Amino acid sequence: MIVMGIESSCDETGVGVVEWDGETATLLADEVASSVDEHARYGGVVPEVASRAHLQAMVPTMQRAREAAGIDRPDAIAVTIGPGLAGALLVGVAAAKAYALAWDVPLYAVNHLGGHVAVDTLEHGPMPPAVALLVSGGHTHLLGVQNLSQPIVEMGTTVDDAAGEAFDKVARLLDLGYPGGPALDAAARDGDPAAIAFPRGMTGPRDAPYDFSFSGLKTAVARYVEGRVRSGAPVSVPDVAASFQEAVADVLTAKALRACRDRGVDTLVLGGGATANSRIRSLAAERTAAAGIELRVPKPRLCTDNGVMVATLGAHVIGGGAPPSPLTVATDPGMSV
């Protein structure tokens, strides 16, 4: 069975195609058009700009995916209905409905966060019971996964900024450009992660064990930099970057490990664009190895938003026997997992 996935929840227009054999999905096409460059001068994703870019990119991206997969039409279409930007989601969902109607194939509405988890199976095979840590510019979640045909459980999320958003904001403060995550990662390479003791949010005994907070950390970095500038002391950008990055990676991986322990699972899956971060990866690898937990990290291309993750989750949902969604299905921008 050939399943097509359509993704438009943020600034990536993605159309992916997989083949489903009843147990595993195989990647046939993965076409993505990004409007990230158009958002750069605003320092963040502008919803109106993203929606217009999706409108322009959707049909050409769809054509490229069909050509790459060598198919005329799929057997089913899966589409992200949420969470995400309302106007952006509408473009993908409208396109999915139109193609489903025109091709007379069933439509499956899926959750974006579940897609980030499911995509890992393309590289690493069927998913055992696991905890997933999703970190991107739009989300920071700890999820409990029994199997991909069943609903995923949200264990915790951020109470303020997403982790990637914190990277972007601190990078802006340090004049490193947008999107700031990769630039900050590069700057941190020459810095000392122990140079400045930045706070680890929500790690007190009375804090929710799986929730995150990054706005206090962001403020602490701003105060530190302002204080240095005011007193005429030099600011070491590499040291600030490395110390900030260490604080984020420490909290993310410590809470993810605790979630694995508490759920009694021995697999941790990473997903989302910010898992490209070198320190999040290396600390996750160190800590899972020490705890005897298997770490599964999709390649960077599959960690960022794309259509293949939607197709892969759609295939698992179909495999689990779920009925198709009605063509009246609505977007759900605030959808939980």
Q: Which stretch binds ligand KG4 (CB under 6 A): 47-55, 180-188, 224-232, 255-263?
A: 180-188
Least distance in angstroms from the C-beta of 273 to Zn ion = 7
Cβ density class 285-308: b for 16+ within 10 Å, e for less: eebbeeeebebbbbeeebbbbbbb
Enumerate residues 258-317 that contact Zn ion by CB under 5 A.
305
- Work out which of 44, 87, 177, 182 binds ligand KG4, going by CB under 6 A: 182
User: Which residue, 307, 298, 319, 322, is CA-closest to 130?
Assistant: 298
126-165 mask for ligand KG4 (x: CB under 6 A)?
----------xxx-------------------------xx
Task: Give just the sign of the alpha carbon dihedral 35, 41, 42, 43.
Answer: positive
| Inter-residue long-range contacts of 280-287, CB under 8 Å, 24+ positions, other chains counted | 280/135, 280/248, 280/249, 280/252, 280/253, 283/249, 283/250, 283/253, 284/133, 284/249, 284/252, 284/253, 284/256, 287/253, 287/254, 287/257
301-320 mask for ligand KG4 (x: CB under 6 A)?
---xx---------------
> 215: helix, coil or strand?
helix
Binding status of residue 288 toward ligand KG4 by CB under 6 A: no
Q: Which stretch binds Zn ion (CB under 5 A): 78-86, 133-141, 162-170, 200-208?
A: 133-141
> Cα-Cα-Cα-Cα dihedral of 116, 117, 118, 124, to 10°?
110
| 137 vs 201 by CB, closer to ligand KG4 | 137
Least distance in angstroms from the C-beta of 12 to Zn ion = 8
Enumerate residues 245-274 that contact ligand KG4 by CB under 6 A.
272-274
Enumerate residues 7-26 that contact ligand KG4 by CB under 6 A.
10
138 labelled as ligand-binding? yes
Query: Residue 336 has which token pair?
Result: 């939980």
Q: Which does 317 bind (CB under 5 to 8 A by kind): Zn ion, ligand KG4, none?
A: none
Q: Which stretch binds Zn ion (CB under 5 A): 59-67, 128-136, 197-205, 292-300?
A: 128-136
Q: Do 299 and 73 touch, CB atoms closer than 8 A?
A: no
Please state, as a whole number, how many other Cβ atoms lie within 10 Å of the Cβ of residue 264.
7
The sheet carrying 294-296 orders its strands as: 153-157, 140-145, 130-135, 267-271, 294-296
Cα(258)–Cα(210) distance, integer angstroms: 8
Least distance in angstroms from the C-beta of 252 to Zn ion = 16
Least distance in angstroms from the C-beta of 116 to Zn ion = 6
Strand partners, 2: 19
Q: Which does 276 bind (CB under 5 to 8 A by kind): Zn ion, ligand KG4, none?
A: ligand KG4
Q: Which residues are annotated as a binding site?
A: 112, 116, 134-138, 168, 181, 185, 277, 305
Q: Which residues are annotated as a binding site for Fe cation?
A: 112, 116, 305
Q: List residues binding ligand KG4 (CB under 6 A).
A: 10, 136-138, 164-165, 167-168, 179-182, 185, 272-274, 276-277, 304-305
Q: Which residues are annotated as a binding site for substrate?
A: 134-138, 168, 181, 185, 277
